Amino acid sequence: MSDEKVRYGRSQKFQLSAKGTEAVASYSAVIEAAKAGTGRAQFDAARATWGASLGLAAEDGLYLVEFEAGGRTISEAARNLEACDTTPKAVKDAVERLLKCGMLEPLPAPPPPAAPPRRLW
């Protein structure tokens, strides 16, 4: 198997896989439990523990939650996560990482529009 990267077009949309959906559910539960804690340190520790248990980075929960809403392109996700100080490159790297571990999957391309009928006169 090669380590060659698969390239996707700018309009390629991604969605959670079944594995990604399970990861979001566990992430949400961990974050909810951390809210009862005593601050940022407990929140960060909960995210790190969650990520380690799945072989993910702590911040991957943020990216998975972003793609939970359905098909998003990398640029749409980056725009939505700007307030979290996330760069487009960080989103792209996260998508590649999450695709590799089976948490995200590319949506099939929509069929091309039907050609207009040809007039022969």
pLDDT tens digits, one per residue of 52-108: 999 999 999 999 999 998 889 999 999 999 998 899 999 999 999 999 999 999 998
Identify residue 76 by its one-letter amino acid code. E
pLDDT of 1: 42
pLDDT of 72: 92
Using CA atoms, how far apart are residues 82 and 29, in angstroms rounded to an integer? 24
Asked if residues 78 and 87 have their Cβ atoms less than 8 Å apart, the reply is: yes
H runs (alpha helix) in the chain: 18-35, 40-54, 60-68, 74-80, 88-100
Classify residue 39: in a domain, yes or no.
yes
Using CA atoms, how far apart are residues 119 and 65, in angstroms rounded to an integer? 49
For residue 117, the SS3 value is coil
Local confidence band at 2 (pLDDT 50, 70, 90 cut-offs): very low
- Run of H or E residues at 8: none
Classify residue 5: in a domain, yes or no.
no
For residue 72, the SS3 value is strand
pLDDT of 64: 96
* Domain that residue 93 falls in: 14-106
Classify residue 31: in a domain, yes or no.
yes
Classify residue 117: in a domain, yes or no.
no
The mean pLDDT value of the chain amounts to: 87
Classify residue 57: in a domain, yes or no.
yes
In eight-state DSSP terms, residue 36 is T
Classify residue 92: in a domain, yes or no.
yes
Q: Which residue has the tokens 């340190």?
A: 41
Question: Could you give the number of structural domains in the chain?
Answer: 1
Classify residue 111: in a domain, yes or no.
no
Q: Let me know the angle formed at the C-alpha of 68 by 91 and 32, rounded to the nearest 5 degrees.
A: 100
Using CA atoms, how far apart are residues 10 and 1, in angstroms rounded to an integer? 26
Classify residue 46: in a domain, yes or no.
yes
